[in-house]
Structure 1
Amino acid sequence: MAQVVPPHTSERPRSARWASRLAAVAAAAAIAVPPLPAHAQQRGGGVPLIRDAEIEQLLKDYTQPIFRAAGLAKANLKIVLINDKSFNAFVVDGRRIFVNTGALAESTTPNQIIGVLAHETGHIAGGHLSKLRQELANVQTAAVIGMLLGAAAVAAGSAVGGGAADGAGQAGMAAIHATQHAAQRSLLSYQRAHEEAADRAAVKFLSATGQSAKGMYETFKRFADQSMFTARYADPYAQSHPMATERMAALTEIARTSPHWDKKDPPELQARHDMMRAKLSGFMEAPQTVGRRYPMSDTSLPARYARAIATYRHGDIRAAIAQIDALIAVQPNNPYFHELKGQALLENGRAAEAIAPLRRAVALAPDPTLIQIMLGQALVATNNPAHAEEAIAILRNGLAREPDTPHGYQQLAMAYGRKGDYAQADLASAQAAFARGDIKTARELAARAKTRLPVGSPGWVRADDIVAAKVPPPPNRR
C-alpha cells in the first residue's frame, strides 16, 4: 500500500515533491483491484474480519475446483472475509482472496460469486501483482529520469535569467507534468490489460470445471449499468479497469461461447448459498431488517435460520433455543445448527449447556477447527478445573491449524491459569498479543514467560522468538 506522503515544506525542491507524489500515486495503483477499505487496515482487533466455519467451508467448496483448473491446488490459497457491506472482492498478494460480506449477501446464486472468485483467481494465476510491481519500478525509473531532466531545464533557465529563464523554466515544469501524466497513464493501461486477462482466465476456469460464466456476466453487467452514466464522459485512459461498455462487449463474446452458458447451479449448492445469505442477515442486520427480509409468512429453512439467529442476538434466549431445536429436528446432522445452539448458550452465560451441542458440531463438521476453539472456550467458561486439561488439548489442536487466532490464545491462557501453569499462561497471552499486532505487550509477556520456562524448551524458544520479533511498520491510514 502507498505510504502517506507528508506535507512538503517551502524549502523542499519542487522536482523532489513531484517525484514523491508520483511514487505515492504509482504505489497506490500497484494493486490490480480496489484496495483494502481504510478501516480494514488497522491491525489486530481493529481489522473487521469475519470468521465462520459454515461460510468458509462453502467458499472452499466454491473455489477448490477453480484453483485446480488454475493450477493452484497446492498453493494453499485462503479466502478472507471482510465485514463490509459493499460488493467487492480483491487480491493484495498471491496467497489470499479477500471477499466483502456484501458480495456474498448480494450474490443471489452461487454462480455469481463463483464467477467473481474465478476472476480474482485469474489475477493470482497470471502473476499480475508481481508483474505490476515490476511495471511500477519501470514507470518510476522513467518518471524520475524525466523529472530530473525537467528540473535541469528549470535550473538552466534560472542560470540564464530574463525571458529565456522564464521560457526554460516553463518548459522544465511542463516536462515534469508531462512525465508524471505519462507514467500514470502507462501504469493504468497496464492494469486494464490485467483486468481483461483476468476476465478471460475466469471464463476458462469456469468452462474447465463445467460451470457457466453467466453469473460472472450478470455481476459485471450490473456494475456496468450502474457506472454507465458516470462513465459517459470519463477518459478511458485514466481508468484502472476497462471501460464498462468495452469490458461487457469482450466478456459477452467469450462467455457466451461456453457450452455451459445455460447450466444452472446444483439445487443443494443453491440451498447452502441461501443459508449463507440468511446467516449473514441474521448476524449482521437489525431485527427489523431481518423481519422484512424474512417475514414470518416465509417458512423456508433459510428464513427460519435468519430469524433464529436474530432472536438469539436480540431477543429471548428461550425462544431462540426453541427455534434452533426446530431447525435441528429438520436436519439433525447439520453441524452448523448445533454450533449455533452452542454459541447462543455460551454467549448467554450457559457454558456448561453449550458443551454438548458444540461437541456434536465438532463431530459433524468437515473442518471443525473454529468450532473446536469455541468448544475450548465453553470448557474454560465453566470455571471447572476438571475441564482445564481437555480445554488445553482442544485449543492447542485448533490453534495448530489456526495460528493467527488471538481469541484462541486468550482462552488457552485462561485454561493454563486454571491449572496453575503460569509459564504457559504467559506464553499463550504473549501469542495472543502478538496475533493482535500488540508487539510491545507480546514482548513483555514473552520475556516473563522465559523466566518461568526451562531454557531451550519449545515454549522458551517460542517466547524468545516473540521477544526478538521486529516491530511491524504502522498501518497505513487512508
Structure 2
Amino acid sequence: MTMRMPLRSTARLAIAALTGLLAVVPARAQMPAGLPIIRDTEIENLLRDYARPLFRVANVGGSQTNVVIVNSRAFNAFVANGRRIFINAGAILDSRSPNELIGVMAHETGHIAGGHLARLREAVERAQVIAAIGMLVGAAGVAAGAASGGARSSGVGEAAPGAITAGAQIGMRSLLSYQRGEEAAADRAAITYLNATGQSAKGMVETFRRLHNESMFIARHVDPYAVSHPMPADRIAIIEPLAKASPHYNRTDPPALEARHQLARAKLAGFLDRSDAIVRRYPPSDTSLPARYARTIQMFRFGDRNRAAAMADDLIRSQPNNPYFHEIKGQILLETGQPAAAIPALRRAVALAPNSGLIRIMLGHALVASGNNAVLDEAIRELRLALQAEPEAGDGYRQLAIAYGRKNDRGQADLAAAQAAYHSGDVQTARGLARRAQGSLPTGSPGWLIAEDIFNQRQRRN
C-alpha cells in the first residue's frame, strides 16, 4: 500500500463540483494537489469489482471504472468530473459487509448517471443570480436612502441591508433544496441499480440507520432546510420500503467476496490505525486470516520487522496463491533495507497479478536497489511494463532513471528523470532535464519527441 501526501502519481483531476454521500462541496478550481490518496492494488481491484456492474447497468464509465481511495477516516464518498468515484478509507473500514459499501457506490453511480454535477453547476449559478439580485436591490435602497438624506427617518436605509442578506439566504436555500432533491434521486437510482444487478439494498438501509443513530443528538439542533442532504431518518423512511420490496432484499454477499472485503478492511486498519486501535479491532483471541493480516502489518509498522516478514510467510502458507500476501512480504523486506531478499516475493506477486503496475514498480525498485547490475535489464523491463499501466507514476520513472544511469545511458536516464519530475508537478525541473535528454537522444526518435513534449509544457497538466 502506498499513501500519497501530497498527491503525486495519481491523476490530477479538473473538476467543477463534488457530490458526495454526506456532503456536496461546490468548487471552482482543480482538486487540491494535497488530497491524500491511497494507492493499493488489492483494495482498488476490490472496489472496481464492486463498481463495474453498477456502472454497466447505469450505462456510465464505458469499459474503465475509476475508483480512488482517499486517506480520510470520515465515512463518506463523492464523485468528481462525472467519471470517478472517490471512497474515503473510513467508508471501507466502517462498512461491515460488501453490500454496505456497494450501496454507497450505487448512490454515487446515481449521481454520475443523473448528470448531477453538471446540473449542480447550473444550480450554483442560479443561486448566485438570486443572491446578486438581492444585493443589487439592497444597494439601490442604500443609494436611494443616502440620496434622499432621510434614510434613517424613512426606514429605507435600514431595510436595504436586510434585502442584501435575504437575497443571499434565498439563493443558498434554493441551492440546498436542489441538492436535497438530487440526493433523494441518487438514493432511488441506487436501489434500481442494485435490483438490476441482483443485489440487496439492505446495506444502504443499514448504513443510513447507523448514520441516523450517530447523528441523533446533532440532528435535533439542525434546520432541515439549511442542509445539503435529507436527514438520515427521512432517507430511511423513503428507501426502506423500496428496498424491502425487492426480491433480492435478503440476499447475502458471496463468501469469496466477503473474504476479500474483510481482508481489505484489515489491510487498511493495519496501515492506518494506531497499534492500540488495531488490538481493539482484532484482539489476540481472533485468529482469523484478516486479523493475522492486520497484525502482520502492525508488526511491520510498530514492532519487529524481521518477525513481520515471518508473519507474512505464515499468511502465504495459508493462501499460497494470494498475490497480495507475497506483495506485503516483499514490501516489508524492501522497506527494511533488504531489497535482494524482497525480489523473489515480488516476482511471485507479479506472476500472480500480472496486470498490477504498482506491484511491478515495487519489483523494479527492489531490482534496482539490490545493487546487482546483472538484473538491471530485468528492472528496466518491469518498470517499462509497469508504466504502461501507471503512466503517471513518478516513483516508477525515478527508478527507471536510476537503472538507465547505472547502464550509462544518459539520454534515457535524463528522459526518465524528466518524466518523474513532470508527473510530480515540478515542471521547471522537468523541462530542464528534457532539454538535456534531447542532447543525448537521436533527433526525432520517440524519446526525443517525448522530451520535446515535456519541454513545451508551461504548467502541469491536470
Alignment of 1:450 with 2:441, yes or no, is: no
Question: Does the CA-based 8 Å contact 2:393-2:423 persist in structure 1?
Answer: yes
One-letter code of the match for 1:145? I
Aligned counterpart in structure 1 of residue 329 of structure 2, from 332, 338, 341: 341
Q: 1:292 to 1:153 in 2, by over 3 A?
A: closer
1:202 match: 190
Question: If the length of structure 2 is used for normalisation, what is the TM-score?
Answer: 0.90
71-80 vs 343-352, which moves further: 71-80
1:389 match: 377
Question: Does the CA-based 8 Å contact 1:290-1:307 persist in structure 2?
Answer: yes
Question: Does the CA-based 8 Å contact 1:29-1:188 persist in structure 2?
Answer: no
Aligned counterpart in structure 2 of residue 54 of structure 1, from 42, 52, 67: 42
Alignment of 1:427 with 2:415, yes or no, is: yes
Question: Does the CA-based 8 Å contact 2:364-2:399 persist in structure 1?
Answer: yes
Aligned counterpart in structure 2 of residue 362 of structure 1, from 350, 353, 368: 350
2:278 match: 290
2:454 match: 466
1:123 match: 111
1:278 match: 266
Aligned counterpart in structure 2 of residue 162 of structure 1, from 134, 146, 150: 150
Q: How does 1:38-117 map to 2 (within 5 A)?
A: 42-43=32-33, 46-74=34-62, 76-117=64-105
1:280-300 Cα offsets, whole Å, 9 max, x none, are 122222333323332333221
Displacement of 1:420: 1.4
Aligned counterpart in structure 1 of residue 133 of structure 2, from 131, 134, 145: 145
Q: 1:103 to 1:394 in 2, by over 3 A?
A: same
Q: What do you get for the CA RMSD once the two structures are aligned? A: 2.4
Displacement of 1:145: 3.3
Question: Does the CA-based 8 Å contact 1:405-1:432 persist in structure 2?
Answer: yes
1:141-175 Cα offsets, whole Å, 9 max, x none, are 34323322332232222222124786333333222
Q: 1:452 to 1:128 in 2, by over 3 A?
A: same
One-letter code of the match for 2:110? G
Q: 1:422 to 1:207 in 2, by over 3 A?
A: same
Displacement of 1:468: 2.5
Displacement of 1:274: 1.1
Q: 1:125 to 1:385 in 2, by over 3 A?
A: same
One-letter code of the match for 2:53? P
Structure 2: which 5+ runs fail to align?
1-14
1:429-477 Cα offsets, whole Å, 9 max, x none, are 222222222223223322332333333332232223223324359x9xx
Q: 1:472, 1:335 → 2: CA distance?
A: 35
Q: 1:231 to 1:463 in 2, by over 3 A?
A: same
One-letter code of the match for 2:398? Q
1:175 match: 163
Question: Does the CA-based 8 Å contact 1:224-1:244 persist in structure 2?
Answer: yes
2:4 match: none
2:9 match: none
Q: 2:460, 2:420 → 1: CA distance?
A: 16
**Which secondary structure state, in structure 2, belongs to the residue aligned with residue 182 of structure 1?**
helix
Q: 1:447, 1:250 → 2: CA distance?
A: 61
Q: 2:366, 2:245 → 1: CA distance?
A: 53
Alignment of 1:410 with 2:398, yes or no, is: yes
1:157-197 Cα offsets, whole Å, 9 max, x none, are 22221247863333332222111111111111111011001
Alignment of 1:399 with 2:387, yes or no, is: yes
Q: How does 1:181-220 map to 2 (within 5 A)?
A: 181-220=169-208
**Which secondary structure state, in structure 1, belongs to the residue aligned with residue 221 of structure 2?**
coil
Q: 2:274, 2:151 → 1: CA distance?
A: 69
1:225 match: 213
1:31 match: 18
Q: How does 1:247-326 map to 2 (within 5 A)?
A: 247-326=235-314
Displacement of 1:29: 11
Q: 1:288 to 1:147 in 2, by over 3 A?
A: closer
Q: 1:75 to 1:165 in 2, by over 3 A?
A: farther
One-letter code of the match for 2:406? R
Q: 2:408, 2:309 → 1: CA distance?
A: 35
Q: 2:307, 2:120 → 1: CA distance?
A: 54
Question: Does the CA-based 8 Å contact 1:283-1:313 persist in structure 2?
Answer: yes
One-letter code of the match for 1:425? A
**Which secondary structure state, in structure 2, belongs to the residue aligned with residue 32 of structure 1?**
strand
Q: 1:317, 1:340 → 2: CA distance?
A: 12
Q: 1:453 to 1:166 in 2, by over 3 A?
A: farther
**Which secondary structure state, in structure 2, belongs to the residue aligned with residue 97 of structure 1?**
strand
Q: 1:226 to 1:95 in 2, by over 3 A?
A: same
Identical aligned residues as a percent: 56
One-letter code of the match for 1:95? R
Displacement of 1:398: 1.1
Question: Does the CA-based 8 Å contact 1:89-1:98 persist in structure 2?
Answer: yes
Q: 2:440, 2:145 → 1: CA distance?
A: 71
Question: Does the CA-based 8 Å contact 1:157-1:165 persist in structure 2?
Answer: no
Q: 1:47, 1:32 → 2: CA distance?
A: 16
Question: Does the CA-based 8 Å contact 1:324-1:340 persist in structure 2?
Answer: yes
Q: How many residues are matched?
A: 443
Q: 1:375, 1:166 → 2: CA distance?
A: 79
Q: 1:165, 1:450 → 2: CA distance?
A: 77
1:244 match: 232
1:101-154 Cα offsets, whole Å, 9 max, x none, are 111111111111111011111111111001110222233234323322332232
Question: Does the CA-based 8 Å contact 2:195-2:246 persist in structure 1?
Answer: yes
Question: Does the CA-based 8 Å contact 1:376-1:392 persist in structure 2?
Answer: yes
